[in-house]
Amino acid sequence: MTSMHTHPFLNTPTALAIAHRGGALECEENTLPAFSHAVALGYTHMELDVHATRDGVVVVHHDPDLTRVFKDPRRIADMDYAELRQLRSPKGAEVPKLEDVLTQLPTVCIAIEAKSRAVVAPLCALIQRLGVMDRISIGAFDPARTELARQSLGPDLLWSPAHGQVARLWARGWGVPLGLTDFKLVQVPAVWKGVPVVTPRFVRAAHQAGIAVQVWTVNDSAEMTRLLDMGVDGLMTDRPTLLREVLTQRGAWPLT
């Protein structure tokens, strides 16, 4: 169904394969080695998370602190980038700047999760400075963050809504005529708190509204197959090698 969309981020003939954090079960997540690994596998799309340092540098990391990946308990928001860049992961990776990811991987499209309100302004400034609107999407669990990004970047921004709009879209799948904000992409879990989100009704309602459905985070081959058979437009996975195998078996790899 992606052919119905015109944004370059969505312009693929088959379901998108998206390396979640670069492939968190195959590499140290959200690092340049992880993203390079996914590119070497043939991936054209990644998902990553961003925070802002104390001095406003946009860096790629999921958690607010550095404990889990870098074994350092400090919070990113409490550090200047000059301090942060001294850290190394157990395998020697740095906390990358988003700018470095975008410039070192110039053909890769990136789904960006804004992890705080503080990161939105420098994130939008960076996107504008680099001219990469056609390579990115923005999402956040806090709808205020995406609203700030929309205000800053304008109607050409490809963005994914938070739970409120997703719930309205889900209800439309059951025939409830609820209005939707003007979005063209939803990035959602297959199941949320025990409730199936991505169902044939949901996918059908989304496609009828011209909305692409990308599902996170899918790490099981049977679940990948089930969702692809349902007609979703993309899968985010921590296991990019496995998803490539599944898509290859379906004749949908390489992505063109």
Q: What is the Cα Rg of the chain in Å?
A: 18
Q: Among 66, 237, 80, 216, which Cα is nearest to 141's?
A: 216
Cβ atoms of 60 and 34 closer than 8 Å: no
Residue 62 falls in the annotated catalytic set: yes
Q: Is 72 left (phi over 0), alpha (psi -120 to 50) or beta?
A: beta
Residue from 5, 51, 62, 207 carrying the catalytic annotation = 62
Q: Is 91 left (phi over 0), alpha (psi -120 to 50) or beta?
A: alpha
Residue 20 falls in the annotated catalytic set: yes
Going by DSSP bridges, is the β-strand pair 185-189/212-216 parallel, antiparallel, or unpaired? Answer: parallel
Residue from 20, 45, 51, 61 carrying the catalytic annotation = 20
Could you give the CA distance from residue 50 to residue 56 in angstroms, rounded to a whole number? 12
The first and second tokens of residue 238, run together, are 């921590």
DSSP 228: H
Supply the residues annotated as catalytic.
20, 62
